[in-house]
Structure 1
Amino acid sequence: VLIFDLSSVYTDVEVERKHTHKKRKLADGREKTMSSDDEDMLAKGRGRHIVVNKAEMPGWAETVEHFRTARESWDLLHSHQSLETEFVKICSAWKTEMWMWFRIFLTDMIIYQGQYRKALSSLALMSSLQLQQNQIQNSLSSSSSLETQRAIIQQASCHYALGEYRMACEKLLEVVSGLMPQNHEAVKSSEEQRKPRGKTRKGNDLRLIPCTSKSILPFCLQLMLACFKLRAFTDNRDDLALGHVIVLLQYDWPQGENLFLKAVDKICQQGSFQYENFFNYVTNIDMLEEFAYLRTTEGGRVQLELLPNQGMLIKHHTVTRGITKGVKEDFRLAMERQVSRCGENLLTVLHRFCINEKIILVQSLP
């Protein structure tokens, strides 16, 4: 699947300060690390870079070379009027409009050219063609299901590139609802093979990933993070978007640690933070440690409303010393319970987050 590259999603921020109580120290230069994938920049001249992960795609070189050859052949066939006329005749005679692989190539080429609006039209044609073929076959095979996911993922990628973040999120959640989260340990082992790189990228690269649940779900999580990140770190306060960002930053930790520390800085500046889904989906021990610290005197006594109905309790009751003490005790007990959940399969937690909070996720974006 050819999609928009999101390698810089974790690192497009500057962290003004780091909390002195943190036991872990960030590696020097992590702020400048733009990608952790084992990648190759494969396009030449004025072409766009296509980033691949060699561990995910053993045949990456051949695949990218075939795509380059196909693009150049297409350009050649359309370089002269006579060639183009003959080619159109051949396509008409062969009914290439019914070839799924041909439509996939055309869509990939349009995305490569950066014509995202045109790509959305091509993807709509692809979906229509897929539906026709499924009706003819009178079945929904695993391969056709993968082709459907391919189209929706590319639609999400195009909407994101066009700045249509709500539409992108809707498409991503549609894909996630049909995926089964992989075992977290298996994903973790592949992540450990990545090599940090310090090369700064221009932000218009493309990425080629296998059309499998193991690769698709992480991309969906990263693209959702990219959508909410832009909203969470504006001058306007948006605790809901900031909370979503914190939940999504758990994947691929500690790649997103700098961005998380910026979120903490924003919370400290606000003096308060409300996100009642916190204890449903945040299981990262480092994040839990940080939020526990924020409530202390040293951490600034930040007012945190992370428990369901906690805000209602404070607003609709006279806040006596006893009630305040009760809220603190509830927070302490909730934090202790949360620490015991740190061993849960993270992808399962994040998959549940996408499914259960689908409506609020979409409504959180403009």
Structure 2
Amino acid sequence: MEMDLDISDEDYVIAMVKQSFPTDPFESRAWMLTAKSLYPANFGVQFQAYRIQKELQANIKGAAKCFSDLIGKFEEKEQLWKEIEAITKALRAEDDDTNRSTEFLCEMFKHMSTDVQHHLLVLTANHCEDTMEHCRLLLLLLQRFPVAISSYASNLVDTLCSAERHCYNTAINNPCRKILVCDLLPLLANEQDLNLDITEKQYYNVLVKAIQFYLYSMGFMQLEEQEDLKIEGAWQKLFTIVEFIGNQLGWDPTIGFSNTNWSKEGFWRKLLAYHRQVPPNFDEKQSCFTIFIFFCYCLDEYNFSTTPECSPGQLPITHVLVEAFLDPTLPVPPVEPKFKRRKNDAAPHPHISVEKPEMKQMINNFFMVVNCFEFIYSTERLKREFKKFCDCLKIDAYLNGFIIDYMVYKGKFDELIAFFEKSNCQVVSKNIRTAHVSYITKNYSACFEQILSILPLLSIRNKGNLSTSLVIGGVRRHLHFLPLTHFAVLQYCVKLLLRCITENLSSTNYNEYAIGSALVLTQLDWPQEDEFVPPIMEKIKLHGSFHFPLFQNYIINIELLEELTYLWTPQGGQITLDIIPHLGQRRIGTRGADKGAKEEIKQAIRRQIARSNEKLDDLLFKFLTHERAQILQTLI
């Protein structure tokens, strides 16, 4: 290779270094050592020395030394800045990127002196014109050099808050907020005896941002531009930030979240004791923030428990609190433990049931939210601040499910209907509760209309099972966490309608269509509803006949068929059983009856018995939808 004779001595040596490097690295290194000694102030020579060490990737210490020399002498050179940017980029990706070049740069950085490392990061951050990149570099500095926290953390907090305010307006899940909440605050929380130049107002502003961010990540808010943001261990991370900011604000640690043996029940008792004693250093802001955060934690656990985790391939099932039913002939369930009751309760709590014993935590979680909610609403100050929190953090949608359950629990049915009219609620959940309110106010036809609106919404993919807990013994009010599955919702609707028809029947004249409809409805949950059958059979017997044109369409329960057949015999009362439409007005009895008609009755009964294994949910669904007009007539 011919050399240009007009080049400088420095460029000549560099050219020789480059020329010999591919074929003889040792010769190239000799040229390089010579050049470094002869021209210590020449950037091209010194940078080429670094590049050779980097490309060989055999001598990390040598590369680190060369780069350290460059940092101290040639900070204004563009080539050097590109290399600095590559190093800082590698440091940020150290845990995620397994690229060989990234690994080398990270290792090289570790072999620099701490002074050079610190200087490099500060230099890069100050040189960066992009605000977000500047913040990321300062964060990197603080992560690598905790000693720098006292010098740079306050400015970084201020820069992040200012950048969010000017660049992202109302967006919660923005880069500034993520760095502040997920990276910077946890880093600061690990430091002992930290004294930052941050005002009390700014600390509270940061605390609200952290609460809002984590509640957003856990689904508390429903915003127009919702992004999926899942954070592992979100509550514990939020508690850590609350503890840190609380320490900076001088909060009383008595009601802090830092205890490793923390439990909802224990914290609740501690919170009550704290507010009963009202210590001299009582801080109203600490009280409000602590109670609100604890309430949100309990609310989240409650909402999570009402939609339990399901097995792979299955759909999650939501449970809603509904007014359930009583049968005085059944055993009385045990009373809940005393801790669930408040001392000033004038009346006992309703009994609350669940589908399975392992779901009882749902009840405990509900009572914990109830206790917290009632404590908040026990004083005007807490109630006022709570409403401010809800408005600021936009958690109404996440809160609505509990508010509805609470109104059901308290029996505030007028308020519940008013709430439905102004709130956007899940349709099936809303209509189920509205149907029951119509039932208890004896507006039976309105109850049936609500049931009809529910039927098309029944889940086809989530069939579920019939509940065995919708009816209990005793006279104490009964509530139940109803799973929103096909069978459970249909079962609840059928039970409601059955009670509407039988209660209306008892106060009116003999109505054979109402009696027939009631018998059809008892079949779905047989034998749980067999209590309704004896008084119905007694009415039929006293009347002496039973005319129900829809008999062959809908009555297939063997025990009901046996009861009716018995009433048709001389021993049972010898009633007229008019269940075959084409027999018209002919009297079908035993005494002097037409033998052919009698045989038709027997055949009809046999045909019904042969259908006893049909799907009852399909049968009842058909009955409710196809016979709407006739059913409504029984409810007027």
TM range (shorter): 0.7 to 0.9
Cα offset for 1:260?
Answer: 0.8
User: For 1:302-321, what per-residue CA distance to the aligned partner results, in whole angstroms no more than 9, with x for missing partners?
Assistant: 012222254x4449xxxxx9
User: Does residue 171 of the first structure (1) align with residue 472 of the second (2)?
Assistant: no
Does the CA-based 8 Å contact 2:522-2:529 persist in structure 1?
yes
Cα distance in structure 1, aligned partners of 2:565 and 2:535? 17
1:36-75 map, 5 Å: 41=336, 44=341, 45=345, 46-55=347-356, 58-61=358-361, 63-75=362-374
Cα offset for 1:156?
Answer: 0.8
CA RMSD of aligned residues (A): 3.2
Does the CA-based 8 Å contact 2:547-2:579 persist in structure 1?
yes
| Higher RCO structure, 1 or 2 (CA under 8 Å, sep 6+) | 1
1:21-32 map, 5 Å: 32=329
Matched residue type, 1:331? I
Cα offset for 1:66?
Answer: 2.2
* Partner SS, residue 457 of structure 2: coil
Relative to structure 1, is the Cα distance of residues 100 and 183 closer, same or farther in structure 2, using a 3 angstrom cutoff? Answer: closer
User: Does residue 269 of the first structure (1) align with residue 531 of the second (2)?
Assistant: no
1:223 is matched with: 496
User: For 1:123-178, what per-residue CA distance to the aligned partner results, in whole angstroms no more than 9, with x for missing partners?
Assistant: 2333xx25xxxxxxxxxxxxxxxx32111111112211222221111111221233
Relative to structure 1, is the Cα distance of residues 302 and 183 closer, same or farther in structure 2, using a 3 angstrom cutoff? Answer: farther
1:247 is matched with: 520
Does the CA-based 8 Å contact 1:40-1:52 persist in structure 2?
no
2:401 is matched with: 104
Relative to structure 1, is the Cα distance of residues 165 and 39 closer, same or farther in structure 2, using a 3 angstrom cutoff? Answer: farther
* Partner SS, residue 352 of structure 2: strand
Cα distance in structure 1, aligned partners of 2:624 and 2:427? 19
Out of 531, 543, 563, the position equivalent to 1:290 is: 563
Relative to structure 1, is the Cα distance of residues 83 and 157 closer, same or farther in structure 2, using a 3 angstrom cutoff? Answer: same
Does the CA-based 8 Å contact 1:181-1:217 persist in structure 2?
no
Does the CA-based 8 Å contact 1:116-1:158 persist in structure 2?
yes
Out of 339, 342, 352, the position equivalent to 2:612 is: 342
Cα distance in structure 2, aligned partners of 1:2 and 1:303? 44
Cα distance in structure 2, aligned partners of 1:323 and 1:301? 11
* Partner SS, residue 48 of structure 1: coil
Does the CA-based 8 Å contact 1:181-1:214 persist in structure 2?
no
Cα distance in structure 2, aligned partners of 1:39 and 1:159? 30
Cα distance in structure 2, aligned partners of 1:39 and 1:350? 34
Cα offset for 1:216?
Answer: 1.3
User: For 1:43-64, what per-residue CA distance to the aligned partner results, in whole angstroms no more than 9, with x for missing partners?
Assistant: 5343532422342x73332x22
* Partner SS, residue 556 of structure 2: coil
Matched residue type, 1:167? A
Does the CA-based 8 Å contact 2:545-2:576 persist in structure 1?
yes
Does the CA-based 8 Å contact 2:323-2:480 persist in structure 1?
yes
Counting helix residues as a fraction of each chain, which structure ranks higher?
2
Cα offset for 1:270?
Answer: 0.7
1:21 is matched with: none
Matched residue type, 2:409? Y
1:280 is matched with: 553
Out of 201, 213, 232, the position equivalent to 2:475 is: 201
**Equivalent residues, number:** 309
Out of 412, 417, 425, the position equivalent to 1:120 is: 417
Cα distance in structure 2, aligned partners of 1:89 and 1:7? 41
Relative to structure 1, is the Cα distance of residues 330 and 181 closer, same or farther in structure 2, using a 3 angstrom cutoff? Answer: farther
Cα offset for 1:354?
Answer: 1.5
User: Does residue 79 of the first structure (1) align with residue 378 of the second (2)?
Assistant: yes
Percentage of matched positions with identical amino acids: 25
User: Which has more radius of gyration?
Assistant: 2
1:16 is matched with: none
Does the CA-based 8 Å contact 1:176-1:217 persist in structure 2?
yes
* Partner SS, residue 577 of structure 2: strand
Matched residue type, 2:544? G
User: Does residue 353 of the first structure (1) align with residue 623 of the second (2)?
Assistant: yes
User: For 1:8-42, what per-residue CA distance to the aligned partner results, in whole angstroms no more than 9, with x for missing partners?
Assistant: 2xx6xxxxxxxxxxxxxxxxxxxx2167xx88747
1:23 is matched with: none
Relative to structure 1, is the Cα distance of residues 273 and 39 closer, same or farther in structure 2, using a 3 angstrom cutoff? Answer: farther
Cα distance in structure 2, aligned partners of 1:260 and 1:224? 15
Cα distance in structure 2, aligned partners of 1:285 and 1:200? 29
* TM-score normalised per structure 1: 0.74
Choose 208-217 or 322-331, whichever is displaced more. 322-331
Does the CA-based 8 Å contact 2:321-2:405 persist in structure 1?
yes
Cα distance in structure 1, aligned partners of 2:562 and 2:462? 25
Cα offset for 1:87?
Answer: 2.0
Cα distance in structure 2, aligned partners of 1:40 and 1:215? 25
Task: Give unpaired runs (5+ residues) of structure 1.
Answer: 12-31, 131-146, 316-320
Relative to structure 1, is the Cα distance of residues 286 and 176 closer, same or farther in structure 2, using a 3 angstrom cutoff? Answer: same
Task: Give unpaired runs (5+ residues) of structure 2.
Answer: 1-319
Matched residue type, 2:487? K
